[in-house]
Structure 1
Amino acid sequence: MQYISTRGGMQPLPYCDALLEGLATDGGLTVPEVMPTVDGETLERWRALTYPQLATEVLGLFATDIPREDLARMTEAAYAPFPDSVVPLREIDGGLTLVGLSEGPTLAFKDMAMQFLGQVVEYALERKGSVLNVLGATSGDTGSAAEHALRGKERISVFMLSPQGRMSAFQRAQMFSIDDENVHNIAVAGVFDDCQNLVKQLAGDLDFKRTQHLGAVNSINLARITAQVVYYFWAWLRATDAGGWTELSITVPSGNFGNILSGFYAKQMGLPIRRLVLAANENNVLDEFFRTGVYRPRSAEQTLATSSPSMDISKASNLERFIFELVDRDPARVVGAWRDLDEQGFVDFTADLARFEDEFGIVSGTSTHADRLATIKGVYEASDDIIDPHTADGVKVAREYVESGVPMLVLETAKPEKFAETIREAIGVDLDYSPELRTMLEAPQHVTELPDDEAALRAFIEQHALR
């Protein structure tokens, strides 16, 4: 299995090289040269597997340059910090089923991929005899998941950008309380899209990227996307009966389009998914795109601070991977689309979406702060289950697309403890924190504040990067 760029200007690379590259050398994103496929017989054979075993099978289709025994060792190590039920499924009111993705060390779905990423990046670096300075941007959960997966690793340093004042107090504490020498938290004066733009600017400077050994761990990283594919297979296998070919729909709260892209890949691989339902918050650029065919990102000034902050994104990086498939894998059309976006502020894909509507099966909806509060309260009163604001966005939109006879799953994205203020507002409950979480919340915080300035970030990295 080889990986190519969405923009056509990179020689094919094997899995390990592609994941260390992060952003492709031509500024695009790496995608499989040919998407692997899975048939019904294989799916049935996978029903009895544990989560690490299933991860080995699914990831083995993508990481063909890694010996199977090495891959199995890494998946076992990646999911050891989770409880026995790595991804539990539970029903709530209205016939919906939540897919529990927040059982990991940072209580967010990002752990599902990031724990594997920590294992495979270290493996690839040791095999290559190299080091990596990870440069990432986070709107809340990616940063803490990455830092907890990579902290203390000798060959890796982490430079994580976050928007000043745009994360919850819990999210800040999870990141900024880490004091490992290889972790550098940088709070940028701006919004998430500003942080993401800085990452792209530095990754696009190939000389700087090579000199400083820069790589990425946010959802543009290939390993993140492929590791997330696993839990779509796991959820389908747990929500369906043996021997059947049941179609189901899955709703995904979406910010940077990485989580739902993994579901899209699973569908392309042959998993019987009827619909992928994208749930947006007030920053609903993606909802507008799938409803109208017009992609119109908003400026930093137009990006709202909401009570589901991990979705406060107006320019989704991973959409480029979907656009690549939408335009029949034509790199020239991808490059042309972004040129049009720069020139006129939008791109019209109406004809392409209409042509592939049945094949892609993505629909969307928007949830507001009032919707989140009402949904959290409704689920609590009906099921005695407390869900976080992002999952609430998913539940609200999922209910708009429930079809008779088609199971509807909703991906849970985080534990409610990460957003205690919104939970209190919704249901009047103060959540209890474990002694470990209280210690984290009260710990000294370590963060460097920088302006939204490329030169300032370059200087900081040059001073602290591994060589």
Structure 2
Amino acid sequence: MRYISTRGRAPARDFADVLLAGLAEDGGLFMPETWPHFSPSEWRAMRGLPYHALAARIMQPFIGAAIPFAVLETICRDAYAGFNHPTIVPLVQLETNLFAQELFHGPTLAFKDLAMQVLSRLFDHVLTQRDTRVTIVGATSGDTGSAAIEACAGRDRVDIMILHPHGRTSLVQRRQMTTVPAANVGNIAVEGNFDDCQDLVKAMFADTGFRQQVRLSAVNSINWARIAAQIPYYAAAALALGAPDREVAFSVPTGNFGNVFAAWAACRMGLPVPRLTIGSNRNDILTRFLQSNDMSILPVEPSLSPSMDIQVSSNFERILFELLDRDPEATHQTMLGFRATGRMRIADAVWHRARARFHGFRLDDAGTEAEIRRLHAAGGYLADPHSAIGIAAARASPIGGGVPTVAMATAHPAKFPDAMERAIGHRPALPPRMADLFQREERFTVMPNDLGAVEASVRALVGRNAPRG
């Protein structure tokens, strides 16, 4: 399998090179040169596989010869060994033809664990083979950072620095990142919003000298390996509900577009998925685009669902590339115009192609609280604010015809205790392994939105951990 940039100005690479590179040199995102496709009989043969085996089978075509399949299957088995549910990604039926798929049974209680636990082991394998090390820099709106740190802490060949928006994550999310004492971990609280953090990361990748000096890599969903490792749980849900002999729709609370793009990729690989519903909070750029072809950047507003407080969804570039018939120059010019003007100009024909598969839905904080209360009152189900938006989005647009919809439950409710208490009157308890989270010492640095200052901090982390002798 070879990978190309959405902007067409970077050389093609294999999976191992894409894993380590993260972002293409031309500022684009890597995409598979061709899409793998499973036949209906091949999908049926995957029914009943343990989750780790299914994950390896789904990811293998994207990895190709870069990693032997037996090694990949071992990586996946080890990655999910610490999850606290036997099926890893259980389905919970909420109503007729409405299910929640719980993706929060990993070590940091969020869906990002499903990819990060695999990614860290993929890094270990490739870096050991090449006898080198990398520096991972990531931006987080809340969950990516803690999942990446948990997966990478203490690993010999990786330093990791995570940028989060100061004061704009939940307290649990922040402390999950900042209380990990490993020497290879650093945390920066940027005075700004998530989009500012994301822009800093992209600027570091664009700084060729810095990128080469620290051997920069990424674990955000700009890294294709993150997307590849998220496709399997969509396959697991669809197969459990009768695919490929039955259609299955998905509803995804969405900020950076990576999670819902993984669902689209599953469809591209042959699963029958007639609709993908995107759930937005008040930062609703994706819903505005789908409803009225308005992809314009507005100020980021804090909400009860902070992981979705995003206006520039990096992974939208991947679906744009597909909607533009994989034309890299058209993608490049569209993205340049978007960043220059704050508005993405999409031809009506392309917009209608997006609407043929994607549906947008918006829910403000009051509606999110109401949905959390409704779910709790109806059946005792506890949904965090992000998951509640995904479930509400599915309920608001039933597809009909007996087609089930799976709403992605992306985070444990205990990660957002203030929001849950406001909605249902009590704070869900953290799992026992996190019971002392608020007694642990924090380590992070508040910094201005300044590229030079952030790069200096990354250099200092790398310098402290550089091999001696």
**Which of the residues 109, 119, 125 maps onto 2:111?**
109
For the Cα contact (< 8 Å) 1:327–1:352, is it kept in 2?
no
Aligned residue type for 2:290: F
1:328 equivalenced with 2:325 (yes/no):
yes
Shift of 1:173: 1.2
Residue 371 (structure 1) aligns with: 367
Take 2:354 and 2:335, find their aligned partners in 1: how far apart are those partners?
22
Pick closer, same or farther for the CA change 1:79–1:459 going to 2, 3 Å.
same
Aligned residue type for 2:248: L
Take 1:79 and 1:177, find their aligned partners in 2: how far apart are those partners?
23
Take 2:4 and 2:343, find their aligned partners in 1: how far apart are those partners?
26
Pick closer, same or farther for the CA change 1:46–1:163 going to 2, 3 Å.
same
**Which of the residues 156, 160, 177 maps onto 2:179?**
177
Aligned residue type for 1:192: F
Residue 40 (structure 2) aligns with: 40
Write out per-residue CA displacement over residues 189-234 of structure 1, whole angstroms, 9 at most, x where no aligned residue: 1100110000000101122101111110011111100000111101
Shift of 1:438: 2.3
1:341 equivalenced with 2:343 (yes/no):
no
Write out per-residue CA displacement over residues 139-194 of structure 1, whole angstroms, 9 at most, x where no aligned residue: 00000000000011000010000000001111111111101000001111110011
SS of the equivalent of 2:435 reads helix
Aligned residue runs from structure 1 range 194-233, under 5 A: 194-233=196-235
For the Cα contact (< 8 Å) 1:293–1:353, is it kept in 2?
no
Residue 407 (structure 1) aligns with: 404
Residue 414 (structure 2) aligns with: 417
**Which of the residues 87, 90, 99 maps onto 1:88?**
90
Residue 26 (structure 1) aligns with: 26
**Which of the residues 352, 371, 381 maps onto 2:377?**
381
For the Cα contact (< 8 Å) 1:251–1:408, is it kept in 2?
yes
Shift of 1:357: 4.5
Take 2:337 and 2:225, find their aligned partners in 1: how far apart are those partners?
30
- Unpaired segments of 5 or more residues in structure 2? none
Aligned residue type for 2:220: N
Aligned residue type for 1:72: E
Write out per-residue CA displacement over residues 39-60 of structure 1, whole angstroms, 9 at most, x where no aligned residue: 1000100002110000111110
Take 2:173 and 2:357, find their aligned partners in 1: how far apart are those partners?
33
Residue 309 (structure 1) aligns with: 306
Residue 437 (structure 1) aligns with: 434
Residue 9 (structure 2) aligns with: 9
SS of the equivalent of 2:381 reads coil
Aligned residue runs from structure 1 range 255-266, under 5 A: 255-266=255-266
Take 1:250 and 1:303, find their aligned partners in 2: how far apart are those partners?
26
TM-score normalised per structure 1? 0.96
Take 1:22 and 1:397, find their aligned partners in 2: how far apart are those partners?
32
Shift of 1:293: 2.3
TM-score normalised per structure 2? 0.96
Aligned residue type for 1:457: V
Shift of 1:353: 3.0
Shift of 1:97: 0.2
Aligned residue type for 1:107: L
Write out per-residue CA displacement over residues 112-141 of structure 1, whole angstroms, 9 at most, x where no aligned residue: 111000110111111111101000000000
For the Cα contact (< 8 Å) 2:324–2:350, is it kept in 1?
no
Q: Which moved more, 1:192-201 or 1:439-448?
A: 439-448
1:460 equivalenced with 2:469 (yes/no):
no
Take 1:174 and 1:339, find their aligned partners in 2: how far apart are those partners?
36
Shift of 1:266: 0.8
Shift of 1:94: 5.6
Aligned residue type for 1:289: F
Write out per-residue CA displacement over residues 366-399 of structure 1, whole angstroms, 9 at most, x where no aligned residue: 0111111111111111111111000011111111
For the Cα contact (< 8 Å) 1:96–1:409, is it kept in 2?
yes
SS of the equivalent of 2:221 reads coil
Residue 70 (structure 2) aligns with: 69
Q: Which moved more, 1:424-433 or 1:254-263?
A: 424-433
Q: Percent identity?
A: 37
Aligned residue runs from structure 1 range 138-157, under 5 A: 138-157=140-159
Q: What's the Cα RMSD here?
A: 1.3
Shift of 1:290: 1.4
1:447 equivalenced with 2:444 (yes/no):
yes
Write out per-residue CA displacement over residues 298-340 of structure 1, whole angstroms, 9 at most, x where no aligned residue: 3xxx110000000000101111111100111101101111222
Take 1:419 and 1:185, find their aligned partners in 2: how far apart are those partners?
20
Residue 283 (structure 1) aligns with: 283
Take 1:86 and 1:164, find their aligned partners in 2: how far apart are those partners?
32
Take 1:292 and 1:363, find their aligned partners in 2: how far apart are those partners?
11
Shift of 1:435: 4.0
